[in-house]
Structure 1
Amino acid sequence: MTNASPASARLIATVDALRTALAESPDVLSFTLGGTIDEETAAAAEADGVPREFLDFCRVLDGASCGPSVQLFGLEEAEEHQFYCEPVVDSPLPLSPEKLYCVGMIQEAPVFLDRVGGGVLGAPEEGPDWVDAERFEQLAPGVAAFFLDRLATPAEYTRLALIDDELLEYDDWLKLLRRAGLAD
């Protein structure tokens, strides 16, 4: 990737650090980080309507299971969760498969990529009652930024995952972030 943007260079460096830390951490669940998708898979998925931004992310990291309550899907799992984009009766949220693409879950609430604006949207504080939210919150300007600034940043991840202070030292994702040199 000779023409990598600073954001993608930062994403690649962060994922490399996490993969190295994971390889050296037999006490952390190995399925925490997904692999990558190849160009053929990405081209076929794009032809099927998967947003390019999400595919670009999956070329670097095909999903991350950050803990029991926070997950960024890989391509295969994302394809299985697109039903969350369908309109829900009496929900004030603008749900539409033409406008949204489900890319993860936080606290039993789906996280969406806005197909038009590229932002990552969700209502994580609503948890399983997310369909009753008045509106979506923009969680990040894009998928890479969501991963880097929200999931790979310990304070933000801790807030999103609702981790109790007493459990901070036991959370596998936080262990991995610390071992990768991404924590304070």
Structure 2
Amino acid sequence: MNERQAVSRARLAMLVALVGVAGCDDRGAPTGPPPPPPAATRVINCQADVRAGTFDCTTPPPPSGRLSADLVLGGQGTYVALRSSNVSYTSSTATFQADVTVENLTVLPLGTADGSTVTGVKVFFSSGPTVTSGTGTVTVANPDGTGTFTGTNQPYFLYNQILATAEVSAPR
């Protein structure tokens, strides 16, 4: 074997070794598209209609062209169900109100970290409420507190109980 062939074989061996080392990378290739942002999977939109006396909640459809990673609580009708009753409007005080319950649709208890200690379930407002018809302003008049969920200073209602599978909270 001449010197030129020896150098070529050495270069080839080095190239094979580099390819082998690169193949040992532990990062791996992505296994699928990235999930949507967590905030988007927690959204439940609620609409109130004073004239009709209704208060309904829905989950917006997932963004088109992406897989839904709705594996966190918040999917209305999937993991939780917010339901309203006793919807009313008092014109003398300009008060629109409703009793709202939370139903646990998961197989795990909600409102507890260990299965027995109550931490409660917080239902928060990521924005609004917003007037969608007519004029005036709408505010959350009696929240239990404010917290940071998807943003800062978001009002919430605390359902201070443990909710077993299929259990419905007391109305708030």
TM-score w.r.t. the length of structure 2 is 0.25
Question: Larger RCO: Structure 1 or Structure 2 (Cα < 8 Å, ≥ 6 residues apart)?
Answer: 1
Structure ranking higher in strand proportion: 2
TM-score w.r.t. the length of structure 1 is 0.24
Structure ranking higher in helix proportion: 1
